[in-house]
Amino acid sequence: MKVGIPRGLLFYHYYPMWKVFLEGIGAEVITSPPTSKEILNLGTKSSHDDVCLPVKIFFGHTVYLAGRKVDFLFIPRVVAVEKEAYTCPKFLGLPDVVRNTLENLPPLIDATVNVKRKDKSPLKAALEIGKQLGAPVSRIKSAYREACENHWNYRNLMLKGFTPDEAIDILFKERGWEKKEGGRDIKIGVIGHPYNVYDRFPTLDLLGKLEELGVEVVTGEMIRQEDIEHHAQFLPKRLFWSYERDIVGAAFYLIHKRKVDGIINVVSFECGPDSLITELLQSEARRNDNFPMMVITLDEHTGEAGLQTRVEAFVDMLRRRK
């Protein structure tokens, strides 16, 4: 039985967990290749004009997988991952939007995860998925445990400074990675949703560009959750989106503790939550002695030369300030 996981949106948060779980209950997991022009085009053609870029890319991956004869598409409805917050509204409606926009889809695995409700806990979702794929309960439970463990391994690898791609390689290809050291005089925090920051195509390989310029990069996933939680409390009101709260917490931590020389905030065009938190981040940076911060807005028309120039200028400015 082949289950396709589109390489977009929450893929970067949970892929190792999903893969281990699905394989544990006897499914074969297929992912789409890294985002490319072809995949983006598939996405922009099939999705609605007004959805944000990450969702368009997700659509591209979904269409790609649907054409690869998978038996199921794995698009869970992740409503809430903590008691006091939701995820983005787009995730709440994602399976429905996919189902009602695209034609000729294989059946979806769209179990709901909502930790605010006892009957929608991750374990219940796992059992539902297992049942859908016809696995015995004992096997589902052991696969679930293993998957959770794997999730923490993945998170720990990212804490150590590996990007999701690298961490996934280490976990599943058992390849060792040497962290590049030396010769890096400035540090930049790259803050944003993982599906924006780590996807090389829409960001035009921002992380690679920074590496080439001799910059040490810190991302939100490399910061301990305690620090993030602690600094997110400086918000005037508790933010009710989990992933965005992490972004704000991470950025506040870097700003307050002066952990980096500057911050690049990567947001996508038409992202609802980002539109508000970017304002909060900029305001916070201004209030902390004009902490250097650059906002890069991504859309499907982002041009390489423009981005390169802005990144270089930002890095030059940070070097001068030193």
Partner 1 sequence: MRVTFPHMGNLWLGLKTALQELGHEVIVPPKPSKRTLTLGSQRSPEFACLPLKINLGCFLEALEAGADTIIMAGGVGPCRFGYYGAVQKRILEDLGYNVRFIIFDPPQGRWREFLNDLRRVGNGKPLYKIFSALLFGIRKLEIMDYLEKIGHKIKAREVNKGETTHILEKTLHKLDDASSYREIRRIRKEALEELLSVQRKKIDPLRVAITGEIFVVLEPFVNMDVENELGKMDVEVERALYITDWVKEHLIPSIQGIRKHHLLEKMSKPYLGHFVGGDGQLSVASAVIYAKRKFHGMVHLMPFTCMPEIIAQSILPRVSKDLSFPVLTLVFDEHTGKAGVLTRLEAFVDLLQRRRVVEVH
Write out the H or E segment, with its range, that includes residue 4. strand 2-5
**What residues have CB less than 8 Å from 210, skipping those under 6 apart?**
188, 190, 217, 311, 315
Amino acid at 88: C
Sketch the per residue contact string, 302 through 321, with partner 1: x for CB under 8 A, - otherwise.
--------------------
**Which tokens hold the place of 140?**
């589902």
Residues 276-295, interacting with partner 1 (CB under 8 A): 276, 278-280, 283, 286
Return the residue of 33, 93, 214, 306 that touches partner 1, per CB under 8 A: 93
> Does the footprint of partner 1 cover residue 101 (CB under 8 A)?
yes
CB of 59 to partner 1, least distance (A): 10
**Which tokens hold the place of 266?**
């990567």
**Which tokens hold the place of 198?**
């780590």
> Does the footprint of partner 1 cover residue 188 (CB under 8 A)?
no
Complex with partner 1: residue 27 or 247, whichever CB lies closer: 247
> Other C-beta atoms within 10 Å of 316: how many?
11
> Other C-beta atoms within 10 Å of 185: how many?
11
Q: Select from 163, 193, 186, 187 the least CA-distant residue to 266.
A: 193
Complex with partner 1: residue 100 or 138, whichever CB lies closer: 100
Return the residue of 172, 177, 234, 269 that touches partner 1, per CB under 8 A: 269
CB of 239 to partner 1, least distance (A): 7
Phi, psi of 228, rounded to the nearest 5 degrees: -60, -50
3-state secondary structure of 130: helix
**How far is residue 72's CA from residue 57's CA, in Å, rounded to a whole number?**
19
DSSP codes of every residue in 218-248: EEGGGS-HHHHHHHHTTSSS--SBHHHHHHH
How open is the CA angle 70-81-265, to the nearest 5 degrees?
Answer: 90
> Does the footprint of partner 1 cover residue 166 (CB under 8 A)?
no
Complex with partner 1: residue 36 or 101, whichever CB lies closer: 101
Complex with partner 1: residue 115 or 276, whichever CB lies closer: 276
CB of 229 to partner 1, least distance (A): 18
CB of 284 to partner 1, least distance (A): 9
Complex with partner 1: residue 114 or 163, whichever CB lies closer: 114
Complex with partner 1: residue 102 or 186, whichever CB lies closer: 102
> Does the footprint of partner 1 cover residue 236 (CB under 8 A)?
yes
Q: Select from 293, 207, 191, 180 the least CA-distant residue to 244.
A: 191
CB of 120 to partner 1, least distance (A): 10
Residues 14-53, interacting with partner 1 (CB under 8 A): 47-48, 50-51
User: Which ranges in the chain belong to alpha helices (H)?
Assistant: 11-24, 37-46, 53-66, 89-92, 94-101, 122-132, 137-159, 164-173, 194-197, 206-212, 225-232, 242-256, 272-287, 304-321
CB of 51 to partner 1, least distance (A): 6
- The one segment of 65-73, 197-205, 209-217, 233-241 that binds partner 1 by CB under 8 A: 233-241
CB of 268 to partner 1, least distance (A): 10
Sketch the per residue contact string, 110 through 129, with partner 1: x for CB under 8 A, - otherwise.
--x-----------------
Complex with partner 1: residue 13 or 77, whichever CB lies closer: 77
Binding residues (CB under 8 A) for partner 1: these are: 47-48, 50-51, 77, 79, 85-90, 92-93, 95-97, 100-101, 112, 235-237, 239-241, 269-276, 278-280, 283, 286
